[in-house]
Amino acid sequence: MPRGDLARRRSTQHAWLITGPLAMVAVACSTITGLVARPAFGEWPLAVVLLIAMIVLGMPVLNFVIRRQAFGITLAEIPLVIAFYLLPPLTVVVVYTVASMATQTRHRIAPEKFWFNVAKAAAGTSLAALLLQALPPMNNLGPGTWLSLFAAAEAVCLVSLSAIVGVHTLLQGWQAGRQALRAPGLLTAAINVCLGLIILIAVNETWWSAILLAVLGAALILVYRSYAQFFRQHRTLAEMYDLTRAIAERGQDGTLVDALLGRVRGMMQAEYATLWLPAQGRHPEVLLTARVDDAGLLDVVRTPASLRDQAASESRTIAVGRAFDGEPGARRALHDDKIKDVIVVPLRSGQAVIGTLEVANRLSDVRHFTAADIPVFETVAAHVAVALENSRLVDRLRHDAYHDSLTKLPNRRRITAALEEAVKIRAPGEVVALLLFDVDRLRSVNESLGHAAGDKVLIEVAERLRSRAPSSALVGRVGGDEFLVTLRLESAEAALEMAARMREQIRAEMVFDDGLTVDVDTAVGVATHPEHGSDPAALLQRVDLAATAAKSVPGSVQLFNPALESRSLRRLGIAGDLRRALDDGELEVYFQPKVTLRDRRLVGVECLARWDDPAHGSVAPDDFVAVAEHTGQLGRLTEFVLREGLRRSRDWAHGGHPLSVAVNISPRTLTDQHFPARVQELLEEYGVPPQRLTLEIKESGVLDGTDRPIPTLRRLRDLGVRLSVDDFGTGDSSLAHLRRLPVHEVKVDRSFVQGMATDPGDLAIVNAVVTLSQQFGLAVVAEGVESELTLELLQDIGCEIGQGFLFSRPLPYERLEAWFGAQVDPEAVPAGELPRLRVVP
């Protein structure tokens, strides 16, 4: 049996617990009054007049609804006071009780409520009549009579208020009783008693005052009704403000519907308030109802679905009830469902209808929805529509922020948040496993078949992972071709088995609707918590390292191990500190001399960046240059070395020792179209002739099989800058390729130079490079000259310039200055021989 029906039957049964005692009080007090009063009955013509007045003035001018019950403030105390003075006591009891019966009959209320109100009226007047018998006789209209009449009328009001509070507390709880106690019944009764006394005094003085009193009464009724209208408007504004505040507070936490429906139901004083939102996108259909006797929301409704469909399809308000001209069929349907009236308003977003809001059954037996309620309800519906649209928009933005737009899987942000929660709670004997699936050859699919085909592959991989992963797993996309599966397993070995099994399951051939067939494999990296870390960022980084290692062996599954992280962590730390080092000037430029091999004269220096970091120690140039290339700091690093080299070249020229400087540049720098112009600006800034600057580019950078670097090299050559091919011989290019390049110099790699003295093959290579380069008009510089025997062999084959530890290691500027001062050692120069440069270790 529905809970609401049970609640209503209990209310009917328990109401007699209040009605019965009231009836007994009425009988007892009336009996005692009849025994002591003389006369107890009489004056029936005047009683009929006052009965009519009580019925007319007994119509409510202020109404209050408490839960399901309603009571009103009337002007009935005015004729009651006159009746107590002019009529015998039991006649007053009969007249007031009959007037109450007539008023309740007109409202057609339920029997239990009818007899409660009749018993309340009879008990109140009989107690007041008995009270008047105990007070001094009312012989005139002096102050004593005023007090007696006031006490009698207020006794009626106290009995009425006590009965109302009692029945509300009994049937609906102490909160309803307390709310009934707050109604201004005693205050308005006191005002009405005073007005009744004034009328009594005036009529006792002259019956002509009745004309003025009638005008005053009509005006009083108008004032009461105006106050009632003001009271309703104030209450509506207050409840609208409460609704708006609830929308602001609950709009972002997912409880908006709960807050809305309860307040809408209370504002419209309805038994039911229902919200219907059809399914839209990923949002399911919503059909929820707030009911006056239930704290939560119900997923059922009492009103016919046809009214809801009509309001949505016709985009207009549908109102059915006693006060509306509705279709007879709709009214019959409501009657069959025990619904007396209903208002259904469409919720609009622009011109589109996004749902409906409806209220049913105006609370209390005597009140109904009226045409005046429709504008208020439509205003409420407009607020609700905006709030729901904003809530769904926020939900959509939140969903998009945490999900991948292509595959609809959770993205890296959502996975990171889930990992933060997962690592906080771990049961003994289990691990949190991360399986990273890296799709192989996706780039080939994009290049050969287009990105649309690549998107299809990604969507299919996502669907296969989602369908084959355990139900407890979280499947997400963390990168362009990377998918992560997170789940709890018994051990790392179980994670490896799961990864291998899932990889085999998603390897099946992919056949799409347009006939496209793709065979895609994946490499899988595996990491576990707590073995491989407790921080989500660290776990994601380590599983990525494992996936990268797995790619080196096609189709493999790789478990993370610390060896994979050592170099990656170092470079990661370097990346964070390099920018700071450039900002703070922590990098230095070292200089390695370049000398002529025949007479050992200093002709220039090579500028080399060096970095001693407090945290990382001495960082190898290969490490921080590679980091600079991948973090966008290569331009700053190159300009730093250029500036330092040009500044020293200018200073040396001013000191009478004009020297050329050589600076290494990355092959990536040659792709910068603005680099030649920047070099020209720096040359002009420091006043160094272009021919005194040599730019060294690795062989792999200028001989990459394409013509991409040639335009930039030509622009640099046109500036007058010398160009050198560094580390020549280590790549796959031939000497013939040098003929196409606008370069001036070739540097033979140290690996060949250092092996000349012991390896005939290296000697032959260096000899061939020197010979052919000279035939092409190119200067040759030998790197790695570290012994006198190597120096003599280079002299024999005609190499002109060399650099190496035989002459000097790379030196900071201060030590280089000292080296300049100690170039010649007079004691070590035999007579008739050229001076030799001293070796600086």
Runs of H (alpha helix) within 108-142: 111-134
Looking at residue 578, its pLDDT comes to 84
Looking at residue 691, its pLDDT comes to 92
Give the span between the Cα atoms of 710 and 737, in whole angstroms: 12
DSSP string, 308-322: HHHHHHHTS-EEEST
Give the span between the Cα atoms of 141 and 791, in whole angstroms: 142
User: pLDDT band for position 4 (50/70/90)?
Assistant: very low
Looking at residue 676, its pLDDT comes to 92
Averaged pLDDT for residues 343-361: 88
> Which tokens go with 71?
């009571």
> Which tokens go with 408?
């609809």
CB atoms inside a 10 Å sphere around CB 336: 9
**Per-residue pLDDT tens over the stretch 120-153:** 888 888 888 888 888 888 877 778 888 888 888 8
Tell me which of 418-427, 524-533, 760-769, 773-782 is least confident. 418-427
Mean of the per-residue pLDDT values for the chain?
Answer: 80
683 vs 575 pLDDT, higher one: 683
Looking at residue 427, its pLDDT comes to 74
User: pLDDT band for position 561 (50/70/90)?
Assistant: confident
| Residue 797 confidence (pLDDT) above 50 | yes
59 vs 591 pLDDT, higher one: 591
Averaged pLDDT for residues 507-535: 81
- For Cα atoms 742, 745, 748, give the angle at the middle one, nearest 5 degrees: 130
**Per-residue pLDDT tens over the stretch 690-703:** 999 999 988 766 66
Averaged pLDDT for residues 375-385: 83
Averaged pLDDT for residues 8-33: 76
Give the span between the Cα atoms of 575 and 631, in whole angstroms: 7
| Residue 567 confidence (pLDDT) above 70 | no
**Per-residue pLDDT tens over the stretch 474-520:** 999 988 889 999 999 999 999 999 999 998 888 877 776 666 677 77
Averaged pLDDT for residues 589-610: 90
The helix or strand, by DSSP H or E, that contains position 561, with its residue range, turns out to be: none
Percent of the chain predicted with pLDDT > 90: 14
Averaged pLDDT for residues 580-598: 89
Looking at residue 685, its pLDDT comes to 92
Q: Is 458 helix (H, G, I), strand (E, B) or coil?
A: helix
Q: Which of 42-46, 134-138, 176-180, 712-716 has the highest mean pLDDT?
A: 712-716
Residue located via tokens 């004729």: 79
**Which residues are CB-contacts of 508 (< 8 A; sequence separation ≥ 6)?**
464
609 vs 82 pLDDT, higher one: 609
Residue type, 448: S
User: pLDDT band for position 10 (50/70/90)?
Assistant: very low
Runs of H (alpha helix) within 586-672: 621-631, 634-654
Give the span between the Cα atoms of 323 and 184, in whole angstroms: 29
Looking at residue 633, its pLDDT comes to 85
How many CA atoms does the CB half-sphere of 680 hold within 13 Å?
12
426 vs 731 pLDDT, higher one: 426
Give the span between the Cα atoms of 17 and 15, in whole angstroms: 5
User: pLDDT band for position 396 (50/70/90)?
Assistant: confident
Tell me which of 9-18, 139-148, 743-752 is least confident. 9-18
Give the span between the Cα atoms of 357 and 223, in whole angstroms: 35
| Residue 91 confidence (pLDDT) above 60 | yes
Looking at residue 734, its pLDDT comes to 55
Give the span between the Cα atoms of 252 and 286, in whole angstroms: 18
Averaged pLDDT for residues 695-716: 76
Tell me which of 57-61, 217-221, 281-285, 503-507 is least confident. 57-61
Identify the burial level of 635 via C-beta atoms within 10 angstroms of its C-beta, where 0-12 means exposed, 13-18 middle and 19 or more buried.
middle
- Residue 509, CA distances (Å) to 99, 520, 738 in order: 90, 7, 48
Looking at residue 328, its pLDDT comes to 67
Q: Evaluate whether 700 touches 729 at the Cβ level (below 8 Å).
A: no
| Residue 838 confidence (pLDDT) above 60 | no
Averaged pLDDT for residues 157-175: 77
DSSP symbol at 255: -
For helices 77-86 and 44-57, the axis angle rounded to 10 degrees is 170
Looking at residue 1, its pLDDT comes to 35
| Residue 535 confidence (pLDDT) above 60 | yes
3 vs 88 pLDDT, higher one: 88
**Per-residue pLDDT tens over the stretch 176-199:** 666 666 655 666 777 777 877 787
Give the span between the Cα atoms of 727 and 738, in whole angstroms: 13
Residue located via tokens 């005939």: 760
**Per-residue pLDDT tens over the stretch 610-656:** 988 777 778 888 778 878 877 788 888 999 999 999 999 998 888 77
User: pLDDT band for position 751 (50/70/90)?
Assistant: confident
Supply the Cα-derived Rg of the chain in whole angstroms.
50
Identify the burial level of 321 via C-beta atoms within 10 angstroms of its C-beta, where 0-12 means exposed, 13-18 middle and 19 or more buried.
buried
| Residue 594 confidence (pLDDT) above 70 | yes
Q: Is 275 helix (H, G, I), strand (E, B) or coil?
A: strand
Give the span between the Cα atoms of 482 and 460, in whole angstroms: 13
User: pLDDT band for position 253 (50/70/90)?
Assistant: low
Averaged pLDDT for residues 331-351: 80
User: pLDDT band for position 828 (50/70/90)?
Assistant: very low
User: pLDDT band for position 64 (50/70/90)?
Assistant: very low
Looking at residue 181, its pLDDT comes to 60
Give the span between the Cα atoms of 138 and 152, in whole angstroms: 12
Looking at residue 832, its pLDDT comes to 42
Q: Which of 272-276, 338-342, 364-368, 399-403 has the highest mean pLDDT?
A: 272-276
Looking at residue 642, its pLDDT comes to 93
